[in-house]
Structure 1
Amino acid sequence: MSIFVAGQLTRQPGADPRTVTFVLVDVETTGLDPAQGARICEVAVVRMRGDGVVLDEYATLVDPQTPVPNPESHRITDADVTHAPTFAEIADDLLARLSGAIVVGHSLDYVDRFLSAEYDRLGVALPPVPGLCSLTTARLHLDRPDHKLAEVANLITGEWPSALPSALGIARAMAATLASLVGAAPEPLHWRGLAPVALPGQPRHTPVTPRVVGLRKGSEGWLATLSARLPYTVDPPAPRPDGLSDYRALLARALTDGRIVGDEATHLAALVGRAGLTQATARQVHEEFLVVRRAHAESDGVVTAAELRELQRAAKELAATHLIMDLEEAAAANRARRGAPLRGWRILPVGDSAEVTGVVDVAVDHGATVAVKLTRTVRLVVTDPAADDTDPRIVRARELGVPVLSVAEAHPLLADAIAAATGGGQEAGTDEPTEVYDGPRWHEFWRVRELSPAEYHEQYGGTVIDPIPPAPVADTEEFPAGPAVGRSAPVLGGSHAKSGCAVVALLGGALLAGTIELVRHLVL
């Protein structure tokens, strides 16, 4: 039986969507049809207020208790779900996050069929839950040839979604898109459909197995990206002790030299899932690690410049610089007392070798600052011996006339500047201002009027209802559980009808499961 009763975000009168809670849901599956044995192998939820404030996130791989085919589609393998909970183990935790909200999916019917099958398998009966299909919403209001989630998200938010094809990456993309759509549409949108309802069950805080996808170093470092890819869970479950021990051990080995490199980050990302870490628990582990490192440096009563540099490198990697801020302020005061000959120098390192790091450390210890990108205020670029001359930063620096020096060349230059005790050049400035964004560009694709049911059916083959004038709705922060908002009957015709999305046609039984799953991903 279907769970969700689809409503609409319409230009017709209705409830203010900024005052309600939405839950953006995505599932990754072992196939297209749960009736033929396909199961959920990953689920993610972003719980968000209609004004764009994220309230909670939840994400985990799920042991489908069946082989996971077509990993090239969702990048999930049998090995990935080895330590994952079953759906039965997370069913209550998931219901707690769906409760009291409008559930949103990009192809809501797909999410509905799989969640319905999983809860039916457990014998859990659920009341009708309000749902919204973001694919249908985009088609109703945006005159575009392509309404796949990535395209719509890029159009409306100005950014391509990250961490795809993870369920959390997709749910976050839906959340960002919906927030911008509700908050910046050329015409006010209103919710027409059932009011949110309370769902049965209490959270069990079952350990999760989150998946890190799209890991990259970025400007903040590997671990900052790793942590950002984890769910922002307000009340996270406890990590698994064995996985947590392995994660801490690898973290200690990786930070022996104060730096995390790509292979180490990849291995840490794999252990994050096994440990069951979320953003909150990962941050706690990282901060505990730095506290131990700091205590060791302070054990003899003095933190030397070399020890401070090691702590700074570790703190930057761990995104925990606030824990050593007092040490940095004390060191800065000491430099000010003895003079800072390189004050005003901004140095951009290209490469993360020990040689480059050593040069930068010396410069910072004498008043220089480190740039994270090339701007006109950068005074010197120091390159790794293995740096590629075609690196865009090097090419651009030469175009701007900024010196590009090897480690061997930079050492004497800095030594001369320090010896001469001259600041040289202008004070450290701020990065150049970025281009000002002049209004939402997606407004030019806003339909003159939203499609009627007949027009929608003609273009997309699906079915939507024609909104009717709503009954008065109290102006509350969140809808109370109970009767429909804006109408006295379900949004779609029939009892607990499916969403307004075009139903994905089931392929013939002879097709491979991998082909089926790839067809589903074309919608995303």
Structure 2
Amino acid sequence: VSPSTSRRRHSSSSSGRGGTVILLLASAICASAWPWWCGTYIAVHMGAGNPSTARSVVGWVFELSWLAFLTVAVVGWVVPKSGPSASNSTTDVAERRAPLGVQPRRRHPRIPCARLTRSVTAYPAAQATFTVVDLETTGLDPDIDRIVEIGLVKFSADGRTIDEFATLVNNPGSSREAIGVHRILDSDLAGAPRIEDVLRETFSFISGTVLVAHNFAFEEGFLSIAAWRAGIPPPDVVGVCTLETCRRHLDGRAFSLPAMYKTATGEWAHDRHTALGDARAAKEVLLWLLHRAPSPLYFTQAPRYGAPSPVLDTCQISCRPVPLVRASMAELLASFPQSTRTRRGDPRAIQRYRRLLDDSVHDGRLTMQEASDLTRLAIATGVTGTRLRQIHRQAWDATFADEKDGPWAALTPLRRREMYLVAEALGLTDLASEVNSVIAACSEPEPSPEARYLRGLRVAIAGEDPEVVALRERAEAYGAKLAVNVTKTVQWLATTTPEADDSRHSSARKLSIPILTPAHASARLDEAIRDAEIKACERQRELDEFAARRRQREIEADAYWRPVWRRSELAGDVGG
């Protein structure tokens, strides 16, 4: 190509570009100036007294309004384009919802899931140690929702529970649908630990075991993405899905966790949608699968057994206990995670719990309201059920400081009965059984329910007349405490010699304690017994109504067909 030809092409292209620029500038001027022209035209034709001034004022009013509109439109269009979409932070990317129908691309490590099979492999399930995990979340999408509660149960294949862990997680923002399921309000999460602290202890807890969940994909998705957001590597373990195992090996109508728990235990779970309660239920389902399978079950891939990661510092927990079935301290203690890991907790809350405990069980029994109050305060302590049980044992030891280390068989029948009733009221079932065995060995009948009626009554009875002896025996039979020395805690003194001047009578007069004749004291005692019977009947009525509703629910829900084992397991993808 010659230089002259190049120059001609260059000049023609330059002139073409110049014309285009001029045309664009003219268009821009017309687009921006037309309101000014319209304003001046209107001012002239309205017959203004000073057309020149009117044209300027009205024209610029129209023009400035138009320019303001253009500015707002441009800013509203440009800012969203250059804002969050330009951000590459981990939180922004994680919280971005994928388009409808498009599976989000995840760039985080995953926990692999093995299958349980009846085909013989080199990895028998009967030799494994398992950890069941259950989560409660703000919603169903792990890419945008968060974990609000986690429950873990570690156990061996023979059913022995090794450890438990549970806590709420400070991730407020549950949807109304999620709250309707798990009943966790944002206010319940105040004081709960952060997800980063929870995950560190959770992954240490899981390491060296096989991770189990009923619908493993759900729990694994939330755990993996939460770990990815927090920058914490997930544990090197293999998972198992009990839901998928049930669908593959069983033929039945329903394989949900409540239905399978009913199949495994014969009872319906009363603690659904609490993370610890569901984890315990999933444990029973897996044990049933392992022990009832027509042939031993094996893993399809090797479990990754390794040394458990050390826990350098346990996180502060905020437990949500499983719902109480009845007003029982044993139920309350069992509803918290059972763990030997030492947790400091909140010393002030622990002290308040001790005081409320003393006030609640001084009469040898526990009402539903007292159990509810203790549950709320126990949550604030930040300790496990094992630590609470130690607090209850310390309360029992303090009550029987002089007798707890001596031979119980040498005590009076009344004192042994008091030891049994207080142990039972504190929920110390093992201790109560131990005391009851001593009572049985001494040929003493087990204390009747009436023996608890007057546990809160302390009286003094002086004299050895037949009427006084009968009054004393009646008071003891209903659990009243007979005072040897008259103090301000004594409610009345029964005597046949009200004018006596011995120490007991003198103390009663000094402390303004009523001094009653045996007849009046018997009437007082009968009145206290009637009041105690009314309270006991009311409490029993509440328990009977609760049991009746429970039985009705079980009858209605038991309409589901029990599943049966397939002759051979299904192949391919069965969901779950």
1:92 corresponds in structure 2 to 200
Cα shift at 1:28:
0.5
Query: Could you tell me how far 1:307 is from its partner in structure 2?
Result: 6.1
1:57 aligns with 2:176: no
Alignment equivalent of 1:208, drawn from 311, 317, 320: 317
Match of 2:155 among 39, 48, 64: 48
Instruction: State the AA in 1 paired with 2:570.
Output: L
SS at match of 2:377: helix
- Deviation of 1:236 (Å): 3.6
CA distance in 1, matches of 2:432, 2:371: 23
Q: Deviations over 1:102-147 (max 9, x none)?
A: 1111111111111112111111233653111111001001111211
Tell me the residue number matched to 1:6.
113
Aligned residue type for 2:283 = A
Corresponding position of 1:508: none
Shift of 1:193: 2.0
Alignment of 1:114-153 (within 5 A): 114-126=222-234, 129-153=237-261
What CA deviation, in whole Å up to 9, does each residue of 1:180-239 have, x standing for no partner? 21122122211112422547663421221111122133xxx6110011111121324222
The aligned amino acid for 1:249 is R
Matched-pair identity in %: 29
Deviation of the 1:64 alpha carbon: 1.1
Q: 1:64 to 1:197 in 2, by over 3 A?
A: farther
Q: Deviations over 1:130-187 (max 9, x none)?
A: 1111110010011112110110111123222242221111111111111121122122
CA distance in 1, matches of 2:376, 2:534: 31
Aligned equivalent of 1:314, options 422, 434, 438: 422
Q: Which has the higher contact order (CA 8 A, sep 6+)?
A: 1
Looking at secondary structure, tell me which structure has more helix per residue: 2
Contact 1:2 1:113 in 2 (8 A): no
Task: Describe the shift of the 1:321–1:32 C-alpha distance in structure 2 as closer, same or farther (beyond 3 A).
Answer: closer
Q: Distance in 2 between matches of 1:186 and 1:11?
A: 8
Distance of 1:224 and 1:31 partners within structure 2 = 34
Give the match for residue 349 of structure 2: 243
Letter of the structure 2 residue corresponding to residue 62 of structure 1: V
Kindly indicate whether residue 568 of structure 2 is the aligned counterpart of residue 449 of structure 1.
yes
Q: Which residue of 1 aligns with 2:40?
A: none
Partner of 2:60: none
Q: Counterparts of 1:202 and 1:356 in 2: how far apart (Å)?
A: 45
Measured against aligned partners, the alpha-carbon deviations of 1:362-401 in whole angstroms (never above 9, x if no partner) come to 1799xxxxxxxxxxxxxxxxx934748x97999xxxxxxx
Shift of 1:272: 1.5
Aligned to 2:552: none
**Which residue of 182, 186, 190 maps to 1:74?**
182
Q: What SS does the corresponding residue of 1:48 show, helix, strand or coil?
A: strand
Return the offset for 1:325: 8.4
Distance in 2 between residues matched to 1:143 and 1:95, nearest whole Å = 35
Q: Which residue is equivalent to 1:234?
A: 340
- The answer to whether structure 1 residue 26 and structure 2 residue 151 are counterparts is no
| Counterpart code for 1:283 | R
Aligned length in residues: 380
Give, in whole Å, the separation in 2 of the partners of 1:241 and 1:318: 20
Q: What are the ranges of 5 or more consecutive residues in structure 2 without an aligned counterpart?
A: 1-107, 405-409, 458-472, 481-531, 545-560
Residue 285 of structure 1 corresponds to 391
Q: CA deviation at 1:80?
A: 1.9
Letter paired with 1:384: E
- Residues 23 and 104 of structure 1 are in contact (CA less than 8 Å); yes or no, is this contact kept in structure 2? yes
Q: CA offsets per residue over residues 38-89 of structure 1, 9 Å max, x none?
A: 2111101111112222211111111115467543310212222212111112
Structure 1 residue matching 2:362: 3-state secondary structure: helix
Give 1:362's aligned residue. Answer: 477
The separation in 2 between residues aligned to 1:197 and 1:329, in whole angstroms, is: 43
Say which is worse superposed, 84-93 or 102-111, in terms of deviation. Answer: 84-93
- Bigger Rg over Cα: 2
Deviates more, 1:318-327 or 1:151-160: 318-327
Indicate yes or no: 2:533 matched with 1:384: yes
Contact kept? 2:271, 2:322, Cα under 8 Å: yes
User: Could you tell me which residue of structure 1 aligns to residue 519 of structure 2?
Assistant: none
TM-score where L is the length of structure 1: 0.64
SS in 1 for 2:239: strand
Change (3 A) 1:68 1:315: farther
After superposition, the Cα gap between the structure-2 partners of 1:250 and 1:130, relative to the gap in structure 1 and judged at 3 Å, is same
Preserved contact between residue 3 and residue 127 of structure 1 (Cα < 8 Å): no
State the Cα RMSD in Å: 3.9
CA shift, 1:99, in A, is 0.3
Q: Residues 160 and 203 from structure 1, CA distance in 2 versus in 1: closer, same or farther, beyond 3 angstroms?
A: farther
